[in-house]
Amino acid sequence: APLGANAVAELEALATRHLVQPWESLEHLGQEARTLLTGAEGVYVRDARGNRLIDGPAGMWCMQVGYGRRAIAEAMAEQAMSMAYNSPWYSTSPVAAELAARIAEMTPGDLDHVFFTTGGSTAVDSALRFVQFFNNYLGRPEKKIILSRGGAYHGSTYLSASCSGKERDKVYLDFAKDLVVHLSAPNPYRRPEGMSVEGFCDFLIEEMEAKILELGPERVAAFIAEPILASGGVLMPPPGYHRRAQALCRKYDILTISDEVVTAFGRLGHWFASEAVFGITPDIVTFAKGVTSGYVPLGGFAISRAVVEQVAGPENKGSVYSNGYTYSGHPVSCAAALANIRIIEQEGLLEHVREIAPYFQARLRELEALPLVGEVRGLGLMACVDCVADKQSKNPLALDKEVGGRIDAHCQELGLVVRPIYNMCVMSPPLIIEKPEIDRLVEILRQGIERTQ
Ligand code: PLP
């Protein structure tokens, strides 16, 4: 039930006064609270005033199976009652063992060792820590540099944030600059003028090889990449890019990390997208978000047996991967993940995404006819509406940088939550979305953009 006007005002005042939220504008701290949500079901969230809104970004790309799933809540409650916690330092649980085995089946190639963390940032951080440990242990301490890309987002811990390539997120912060080198963003829409998409792919791969040679392959430890750069604006790499990048990594003995925190667990119609969609078998994949459909925090990485075997086993005395969290493999999170996976299977949601995604993408692309929209791009159930000052220059900078926020505000009034990222609106609804809801989502987004012009 909606809260009374007084209760809403009181709660908003508490949030305004005491809550510091991610990417908080300190300039505006204490002035305005974010939307107060009090309920959710299916693909909808409900605000404190009782309005029902389609959850366009599925929370933060995480709410795969939709809200209000009793089976997940019950699995969590049962686990909490039977054993709410176990220390991963000296024990494990049936649900952690089962989940690790399930994930090992889903991942490409021989990626059959799974390490659990508390979310996506800690998954990336832990994977990078493993890479550092791996090379140091093998006696090549100079092999430390991580290649990342412009526009990337890999998390908010120190090392994962160092890999992120969004310059605006780095203002007034120092990061591990000596450890990370950024390559160009694979953004075909804003490729150099006059260059074909194939030519742009050549450019990116040549740039990567030149950088490896400039740094010295013996100094380059890993290449980390989201299959599709998600928060960077759903940047779709040119065809063949990932395969060619992986071939370079193999040539120069560089480990590949596919950051599938967003793309795994059905967002592109597969458990993992690296192999199924992009034809690559990385050495490590990271996951989080969709593994539990966001019902409770969990993340992790899966690593190739061939890599692990180089540092594991009785002949490797003193080989200890000193990294772990109090909540690594938390049993309640693992129980939620198993229940979530059961739902995805029982309801055929991977197949559903593969079936409905072309409709979702086609309907959204109709928005390209609007004067403010430069490009709509995406794959599966992830898409981005890229707003530009004018279609010729594709220049987003001349626009008011809050344009995405203004579109979101209009859309929220009309019944849709948008994920605004500067000049872009990201859409990644729950996997259970059906055609009528897609139609409504597109219609509201159209009106929201029209009102913004
Ligand atoms: N990696 C990618 C590709 C992400 O998009 C995100 C979050 O959006 C992360 C890592 C960090 O995940 P978390 O916010 O769960 O720490």
pLDDT level of residue 166 (50, 70, 90 thresholds): confident
Q: Give a yes or no: residue 6 inside a domain.
A: no
* Segment 347-370 mean pLDDT: 98
* Of residues 138 and 170, more confidently modeled: 138
Q: Does residue 151 line the site of ligand 1, with CB under 6 A? A: no
Q: Does ligand 1 have an atom closer than 6 angstroms to the CB of 155?
A: yes
Question: Does the CB atom of residue 59 touch ligand 1 within 6 A?
Answer: no
Ligand 1 site, residue 298, Cβ cutoff 6 A = no
Whether 148 lines ligand 1, by a CB cut-off of 6 Å, is no
328, 345, 362 — which closes off a domain? 345
**CB < 8 Å & 24+ apart, contacts of 347-354:** 347/65, 347/432, 349/64, 349/65, 349/266, 349/431, 349/432, 350/266, 350/269, 350/270, 350/271, 351/269, 352/431, 352/432, 353/266, 353/267, 353/268, 353/269, 353/380, 353/381, 353/431, 354/269, 354/380
Does some domain include residue 20? no
Which of 345, 374, 389 corresponds to the end of one domain? 345
> Would you say residue 32 has pLDDT above 90?
no
Q: Is the predicted pLDDT of residue 395 greater than 90, yes or no? A: no
Q: What is the pLDDT of residue 321?
A: 94
| Domain boundary pick from 321, 345, 369 | 345
Q: Whose CA is nearest to atom 10 of ligand 1?
A: 154
Whether pLDDT at 45 is above 80? yes
Q: Is the ipTM of this complex over 0.90?
A: yes
pLDDT of residue 171: 87
**Residues 322 and 371 both lie in one domain:** no
- Summarize the confidence of residues 234-260 as an average pLDDT: 98
pLDDT at residue 440 above 90? yes
Residues 360 and 437 placed together within one structural domain of the fold? yes
At residue 66, does pLDDT exceed 80? yes
Do 444 and 388 belong together in one domain? yes
The pLDDT score that the predictor gives to residue 364 is 98
Looking at the structure, tell me whether residues 340 and 237 fall in a common domain.
yes
Is residue 21, in this structure, part of any structural domain at all?
no
Mean pLDDT confidence for 66-72: 98
Please tell me the total count of domains within the chain: 2
**Which protein residue's CA is at the shortest distance from atom 7 of ligand 1?**
155
Residue 139 counted as domain residue: yes
Query: Looking at residue 1, what is its pLDDT?
Result: 73
Whether the pLDDT of residue 183 is over 90: the answer is: yes
- Ligand 1 atom closest to the Cα of residue 152 is 3
Pocket test residue of 153, 267, 301 for ligand 1, highest count of atoms within 8 A of CB: 153
Mean pLDDT value across residues 285-299 = 98
Residues 427 and 286 in one domain: no
For residue 1, being part of any structural domain is answered with no
Mean pLDDT, residues 387-412: 86
* 314-350 tens-digit pLDDT: 999 999 999 999 999 999 999 999 999 999 999 999 9
One domain, residues 145 and 59: no
Query: pLDDT-derived band of residue 373, with 50, 70 and 90 as boundaries?
Result: very high
Output the CA 58–ligand 1 centroid distance in Å.
14
Give 161 Cα–ligand 1 centroid separation in angstroms.
10
Residue 402 pLDDT grade (very low, low, confident, very high; cuts 50, 70, 90): confident
pLDDT over 90 at 396, yes or no:
no
| pLDDT reading at 163 higher than 90 | yes
Residue 16 lies inside a defined structural domain of this protein: no
Q: Which pLDDT score is estimated for 314?
A: 94
Confidence of residue 258 (pLDDT cuts 50, 70, 90): very high
- The mean per-residue pLDDT over the stretch 76-80 comes to 98
Q: Kindly give the distance from the C-alpha atom of residue 4 to the centroid of ligand 1, in angstroms, as a whole number.
A: 35
Same structural domain, 183 and 294:
yes
pLDDT value of position 78: 98
Q: How high is the mean pLDDT of the chain?
A: 96
**339 Cβ below 6 A of ligand 1:** no
- The verdict on 338 and 423 lying in the same domain is no
The reply to whether 264 and 357 lie within a common domain is no
CATH of the domain at 43: 3.90.1150.10
CATH code of 219's domain:
3.40.640.10
pTM as predicted = 0.97
The reply to whether 338 and 352 lie within a common domain is no
Contacts made by residues 363-368, CB under 8 angstroms, sequence distance 24+: 363/438, 363/439, 363/442, 364/427, 364/442, 364/445, 366/442, 366/446, 367/442, 367/445, 367/446, 367/449
Q: What is the pLDDT of residue 169?
A: 85
Question: Does pLDDT of 398 surpass 90?
Answer: no
Ligand 1 contact, 300 CB (< 6 A): no
Within this chain, do residues 152 and 187 fall inside the same structural domain, yes or no?
yes
Show the domain range for 214.
71-345
Assess if residue 10 is contained within a domain.
Answer: no
pLDDT at 400: 67
Task: Indicate if 88 and 173 belong to the same structural domain.
Answer: yes
- Residue 233 is predicted with a pLDDT of 96
The answer to whether the beta carbons of residues 434 and 356 sit under 8 Å apart is: yes
Span 110-124, mean pLDDT? 98
- Average pLDDT, integer, range 349-357: 98
Residue 118's pLDDT is 98
Do the domain assignments include residue 155?
yes
